[in-house]
Amino acid sequence: MTKPLKLALVDTDPAELKVDAVVIGVHSGTPLLLASGAESVTAAFDGRLTETLTLLGATGTPGEVVKLATLGTITAPVLAAVGLGPEPAGAAPPAETLRRAAGAAVRALAGCATVALALPVPDDDDGPAALRALAEGAVLGGYRFDGYKTKPQPGRREPVGTVSVHVPDARDRAARAELARAGVVGAAVTRCRDWVNTAPNDLRPPAFADTVAAAAAPAGLDVQVLDEKALRAGGYGGILAVGQGSAAPPRLVRLAYTPPGPVTRRVALVGKGITFDSGGLSIKPAQGMWEMKSDMAGAAAVASTVIAAAELKLPVAVTGYLPMAENMPSGTSYRPGDVVTMYNGKRVEVLNTDAEGRLVLGDAIARACEDNPDYLLEVSTLTGGQVVALGKRVAGVMGSESLCQRVHQAGEAVGEPIWPMPLPEEVRTSMDSDVADILQISAGMDRAGHMLQGGIFLREFVAEGVPWAHIDIAGPSYHSGEPTGYLTKGGTGVPVRALLHLLDEIAGEDRGGGQ
Ligand code: BES
Ligand code: MN
Ligand code: ZN
């Protein structure tokens, strides 16, 4: 696994810190405004810092990083000013602004081994949230995947090694707990991104299952792996159909975390683990097909989340179900026209082998419901329709209304936007099959409301009475553009942080309360 950068707390004067670079914040405005946290650095510059930064082109726009040599004014040789946008009404800017600023600064400071963040962390109830945002943003922005380079790149600047966050009191218990949590969450996101970025020839279903099992063992999780024989014996028709075209057989991995104390809530997490999606016989165009190595991002996020839940000792039972298959065209592939008998006994008429995700997920969702969860959350790179409807940054969520609202709110809290979408009944009608119980996709392969068809189909496999949510992350799970904020190229780790936030919240529910 890529080593996440180290986090630390400091409360000594930022102007006197022996680090390679100090980061301060600037708010947009004329004149430029220095953010809180920068006071001692400003004093060291004898009132000329605003003027100097303005000369260098700083405007305080979010994402902007202006660096200058300090020439002995402060101890650190480099000062970086990161834009925080307009001055906030309250004590600190919004969490997402801080998260992005920390990420942008840490990316811009590659080559510096040690960096200190002298950014706004208020000395009140908003302090912990600001600290959490800065620490997470630093780890996420400092991530770089280079697992396949055979030699060091000449002139390449190494990612930042340690980030110290300046806080009012470095020994404060709440601050230390936040930093520890950010370390676990940062490692979880890093692990998820590494798996997504791994080449698909190195992560076919048996290898992916082994890798996940190896990562889960040290966290004390109970791990079960069903191989192709066990899947056949168990009647997992959906997973077997999708996997049958590949020389690498499918798997179903179950990871269970049981908290030490009494269990009051059980959460099932299901993640799509298509290690490569060629489309199968309904093959995809060559252009962009390589990105389908990321079609296991749901499984990666779920596995990473269960491991993190155990590391954080959350007082909630969490079980992950990861159906893994490689969707390939071959003489043994499943075909359009095939009828597949799923794990819950329903028969599905296949129309397009590229709509494989819902088949493996239907089986895994039905299996998850046998363990009687209080909530079921399923995460998948399910449809191109999600990207068309909501773009590359916003995921879609469908299912039980109140759970969808909670997923949405968790996403807002952590900067992983997830938008609720409807499940209209007429979409189900368009999936009536002449020969089987349901069509895999709408008749006539109508592309209208594609994302919703996925949700409607998966609903068939959720047991009566289980609150559920299907999160389609086709767009936000993979970043193909230039780095921005704390996003770098490749797997993003979405929605690990939203899931952990929601688990935290569910853990806080009283028995008999909630919904
Ligand atoms: N894995 C894809 C969805 C996808 C598209 C993920 C773009 C990430 C980025 C999924 O298996 C798929 O191929 N969906 C098809 C379904 C269609 C054939 C019914 C789609 O959405 O086009
Ligand atoms: Mn597909
Ligand atoms: Zn797929």
Distance, CA of 453 to CA of 431 (rounded, Å): 8
High-pLDDT (> 90) share of the chain, % = 94
Phi and psi at residue 437, in whole multiples of 5°? -75, -35
Does the beta carbon of 474 sit less than 6 angstroms from any atom of ligand 1? yes
Nearby residues of 233 by Cβ (< 8 Å), 6 or more positions away: none
Does the beta carbon of 277 sit less than 6 angstroms from any atom of ligand 1? yes
Instruction: Look at the alpha carbons of 479, 284, 448, 350 in this order and tell me if their dihedral is positive or negative.
Output: negative
Which-ligand-closest: CA of 445? Answer: 1
**Which H or E run includes 381?**
none
Q: Ligand 3 centre from 355 Cα, in Å?
A: 6
For the chain, how are helix, strand and coil distributed in percent, rounded to 5? 35, 20, 45
Catalytic residue flag (residue 358) = yes
Catalytic residue among 67, 284, 346, 392: 284
Q: Please name which of 32, 73, 38, 24 lies closest in space to residue 51, comparing C-alpha atoms.
A: 32
Angle separating helix axes 95-108 and 127-141, nearest 10 degrees: 40
Rg of the chain taking only CA atoms, in angstroms = 24
Does the beta carbon of 127 sit less than 6 angstroms from any atom of ligand 1? no
What was the pLDDT predicted at 91?
Answer: 77
Residue with tokens 């075209």: 245
Extract the residue ranges of the chain whose pLDDT is less than 70: 445-446, 510-515
Residue with tokens 């960096």: 115
Name beta bridge partners: 515: none
Phi and psi at residue 144, in whole multiples of 5°? -140, 130
Domains of the chain, start order: 6-188 (3.40.220.10), 203-510 (3.40.630.10)
Q: Is 167 exposed, middle or buried (0-12, 13-18, 19+ CB in 10 A)?
A: buried
Ligand 1 atom nearest to 279, measured from its CA: 13
Ligand 1 atom nearest to 295, measured from its CA: 1
Does the beta carbon of 283 sit less than 6 angstroms from any atom of ligand 1? no
Is residue 20 within 8 A of residue 75, CB to CB? The reply is no
DSSP 468-503: EEEEE-TTTTEE-S--BTTB-SEE--TTHHHHHHHH
pTM attached to this predicted model = 0.97
What was the pLDDT predicted at 348?
Answer: 98
Catalytic residue flag (residue 284) = yes
Angle separating helix axes 357-369 and 450-459, nearest 10 degrees: 30
Name beta bridge partners: 257: 318
Residue 393, amino acid: R
